[in-house]
Amino acid sequence: MSQAVAERPVRRPPRPGRPADQFRMSPLSSAGLGVAVLWLSILVLLPLAAVVAKGTGSGWAGFANAFTDSRAYDAIKLTVLASLGVSIANAVMGTVIAWVLVRDSFPGKRILEIVIDLPFALPTIVAGLVLLTLYGPNSAVAPDWQGTRPGIIVALLFVTLPFVVRTVEPVLLSLETDVEEAAASLGAGPFTTFRRIVLPAITPAVLSGSALAFGRAMGEYGSVVLISGQLEHKTEVASLYIYKQIQDDALPEAAATATVLLIISLLVMAAMGAGQYWSARRA
Amino acid sequence: MGIAAQHIYKRFGDFVALDDVNLDVRSGELTALLGPSGGGKSTLLRIIGGLEDADSGSVIIDGVEATGVPAQRRNVGFVFQHYAAFKHLSVYRNVSFGLEIRKRSKAEIRNRVHELLELVHLDQFADRLPSQLSGGQRQRMALARALAVEPKVLLLDEPFGALDAKVRKELRDWLRRLHDEVHVTTVFVTHDQEEALEVSDSLVVINHGRIEQVGSPNELYDHPVNDFVMGFLGPVTELNGQLVRPHDIEVLSTDLTGSVQAKVHRLVRIGFEVRAELDAGDSQPWVQLTRGQADALELETGSVVWLRPSRDASTLVPQAGPPGAAAVNRTTVGP
């Protein structure tokens, strides 16, 4: 009986990055790599290095200031916590919206597709103005959130909405529904099927979208500047604080705060990237 | 017992997928639903499995009314054309999925999964991911996964359709032997008549949302009720106003009772078989011969021979009406 099914098992593909193969490249891909590294260096690495150099240039005093100065500390803490909260909210809501867009058909779906991208298309200061009209002191429909933290959260939620939706949507589209049908025929209810079959498949995309949203929220300025009211210790986000420091000619302090933001962003992105790698390996 | 689908009607928009279909599948049998794509066979299978709802009609599985019962509570094993593997779970976890849902004990799950993996010859691959298996192996895993929950019926939707010809043939033999071991009532959908004839105990030919004929493979091959069934199950040619299988035509070197004169127009040799295309005046039949027969007759292009249907040949007068007009719709599967 066994020889009837003696197909050859598929071998594990060799793991990439083995020393022997790693650096063997064609001239074309070497050139490509060169251009990519150069581009990345000029646009990203050089400015980042400059910021770090500036921040630590006046010794560790300026750098430590970013932690000891309670105004800087509050601004960083607010920014990080708000960004984390917004990424988590986006992870959930973005997934729900993507699910609805992919799996359901309803009148006005095309319009919703466009509306989702609006925060990408709108200049952030315009978004800030819109939010101020809606949640500001003269609003007829909503509470006055100017100068409050909910105001900041709403602004950040607005500008980061599309990230998770747009990363999860194509993955959901590529998911075969027969996998869910198989789970159902094996006795799994809709919730179990989602948790055990769908969720593992979309987790990398959710993480990657959330990481993008987090990065965006950390640096957001335009949409927050109006609604936050810029109250020190209360609603001053890090980008506002840095801007004001520069205005006050305190460049090293600004750069030090920027460096701290940079490090936190890198750490969070790396953690999410690790999560992504881990879940993608299993998917 | 087995499966009974009664007065099943299903449409998708304007397209009628199933039109008052009645099907009885006997317990423990291996039944093939055979027909061209778009004929409704997969829809019927999905309705039996609870993955699709019929617009009207009822499904009874093992004597229990199943209409309206969702797939998750039908206790039906379903195998899909494209495996539907849980990609992030190992082979072991794929197979144990249904048992975990049913909250069986760890020890029981372990025994059952290993027993099944042995049955499908994948025991040594228990820790692999589906992406590390070949197509045939993935489909065997899917089969083990479906069998794990001890389903009342096993439904397979074009299970070998995505595999290459050689693997398909191996799996076909293997499915037949597996069924002889496990004896679970099995229905499988295929558009490959050879597969259906070779594997099944009984055959249901479906076309245009209706059942054309039901019976054992031999019955259907030898006594098709209409041109469609005859043409779908094997080669057909026309001789003297009758439809006949090309291997059921006698080639004679002299004029005997009931024979028609014909001239060899072309000879093609395909491995062990010789195909002779002939010109018989009002019809252009072709005949399937063995090489030995062709040599004995000293056939060559231009030879004049006489043709008649062999004594036990099944012949059919082509119908004027639409194909399937004489379809038998209320039939019990099996001899």
Using the beta-carbon criterion (under 8 Å), do B134 and A187 form an inter-chain contact? no
Q: What is the pLDDT of residue A56?
A: 77
For B86, which of A1, A10, A197 is closest by C-beta distance?
A197
Assess if residue A14 is contained within a domain. Answer: no
Instruction: Check: CB of residue B225 under 8 Å from CB of residue B243.
Output: no
Alpha-carbon radius of gyration of chain A = 24
Tally Cβ neighbours within 10 Å of residue B252. Answer: 15
Q: What is the pLDDT of residue A193?
A: 93
Phi and psi at residue B294, to the nearest 5°: -65, -40
Number of domains in chain A: 1
Instruction: Check: CB of residue A202 under 8 Å from CB of residue A95.
Output: yes
CA dist A40 and B78 (Å) reads: 51
Q: What is the pLDDT of residue A23?
A: 66
Residue A7 neighbours by CB under 8 Å, 6+ apart: B134, B136, B137, B167, B170
Mean pLDDT of A99-110: 90
Residue B321 neighbours by CB under 8 Å, 6+ apart: none
Specify the higher pLDDT residue, A219 or A281.
A219
Query: From residue B11, how far is each of B7, B40, B322 by CA, in Å?
Result: 13, 10, 21
Assess if residue A63 is contained within a domain. Answer: yes
The tokens for A193 are: 């099927």
Q: Is the pLDDT of residue B139 over 80?
A: yes
**What's chain B's average pLDDT?**
89
Residue A122 neighbours by CB under 8 Å, 6+ apart: A130
Torsion angle of alpha carbons B61, B63, B67, B72, nearest 10°?
-50
Mean pLDDT of B26-40: 92
Assess if residue A41 is contained within a domain. Answer: no
Using the beta-carbon criterion (under 8 Å), do B136 and A4 form an inter-chain contact? no
Q: Is the pLDDT of residue A143 over 60?
A: yes
For residue range B84-115, list pLDDT tens digits in order.
999 989 999 999 999 999 999 999 999 999 99
Q: What is the pLDDT of residue B326?
A: 41
Q: What is the CATH number of the domain that holds A74?
A: 1.10.3720.10
Residue of B nearest to A187 (CA): B72
User: Which of the four pLDDT bands, split at 50, 70 and 90, describes residue B208?
Assistant: very high
Residue of A nearest to B154 (CA): A185
Q: What is the pLDDT of residue B190?
A: 93
Would you list which residues of chain A are within 8 Å, Cβ to Cβ, of chain B?
Answer: 1-2, 4-5, 7-10, 12, 176, 178-179, 181-189, 192, 196-197, 200-201, 282-283
Rounded (to 5) percent helix, strand, coil in chain A:
80, 0, 20
Assess if residue A36 is contained within a domain. Answer: no
Using the beta-carbon criterion (under 8 Å), do A181 and B76 form an inter-chain contact? no
**What's chain A's average pLDDT?**
84
Burial B213-239 (b: 16+ CB within 10 A, else e): bbbbbeebbbebbbbbbbebbbebbeb
DSSP class of residue B253 equals: S
Select from B46, B76, B81, B97 the residue whose CB has the most chain A CBs within 10 Å, as the one to mutate to test that interface. Answer: B97
Identify the CA nearest to B207 among candidates B3, B54, B35, B31: B35
Pick the most confident of A13-17, A69-73, B42-46: B42-46
Q: Is the pLDDT of residue A271 over 80?
A: yes
Q: What is the pLDDT of residue B35?
A: 93
Mean pLDDT of A251-257: 83
For residue range B178-204, list pLDDT tens digits in order.
898 888 999 999 999 999 999 999 999
Select from A1, A3, A7 the residue whose CB has the most chain B CBs within 10 Å, as the one to mutate to test that interface. Answer: A7
User: Which of the four pLDDT bands, split at 50, 70 and 90, describes residue B69?
Assistant: very high
DSSP SS3 for A260: helix
For B134, which of A9, A12, A197 is closest by C-beta distance?
A9
Using the beta-carbon criterion (under 8 Å), do B145 and A182 form an inter-chain contact? yes
Assess if residue A262 is contained within a domain. Answer: yes
Phi and psi at residue B213, to the nearest 5°: -160, 150
Assess if residue A130 is contained within a domain. Answer: yes
Using the beta-carbon criterion (under 8 Å), do A185 and B136 form an inter-chain contact? no
For residue range A24-81, list pLDDT tens digits in order.
778 888 899 999 999 988 888 888 888 888 777 766 766 776 667 888 889 999 999 9
Q: What is the pLDDT of residue B332?
A: 37
Q: What is the 3-state secondary structure (H, E, C) of B292-318?
A: HHHHHCCCCCCCEEEEEECCCCCEECC
> Crossing angle for the helix pair A59-68 and A251-282, nearest 10 degrees?
70
Dihedral sign, CA of B288, B291, B294, B296?
Answer: negative
DSSP H or E run through A153? helix A149-174
Phi and psi at residue B305, to the nearest 5°: -135, 175
Q: What is the pLDDT of residue A1?
A: 39
Phi and psi at residue B66, to the nearest 5°: -115, -5
DSSP SS3 for A165: helix
Mean pLDDT of B45-64: 94
Mean pLDDT of A91-95: 95
Q: What percent of chain A has pLDDT over 70?
A: 88
Mean pLDDT of A141-146: 82
User: Which of the four pLDDT bands, split at 50, 70 and 90, describes residue B70?
Assistant: very high
Mean pLDDT of B295-306: 88
What residues pair up with B267 in beta bridges, in sequence order?
Answer: B276
Select from B43, B46, B47, B51 the residue whose CB has the most chain A CBs within 10 Å, as the one to mutate to test that interface. Answer: B51
Using the beta-carbon criterion (under 8 Å), do B132 and A178 form an inter-chain contact? no
Tally Cβ neighbours within 10 Å of residue A160. Answer: 26
Q: What is the pLDDT of residue B207?
A: 94
Q: What is the pLDDT of residue B256?
A: 86
Using the beta-carbon criterion (under 8 Å), do B78 and A181 form an inter-chain contact? yes
Q: What is the pLDDT of residue A282?
A: 58
Q: Is the pLDDT of residue B333 over 50?
A: no
Assess if residue A12 is contained within a domain. Answer: no
Assess if residue A147 is contained within a domain. Answer: yes
Q: Is the pLDDT of residue B274 over 60?
A: yes
Range of the domain at A128: 50-282
Mean pLDDT of B245-264: 89
Q: Is the pLDDT of residue A6 over 60?
A: no
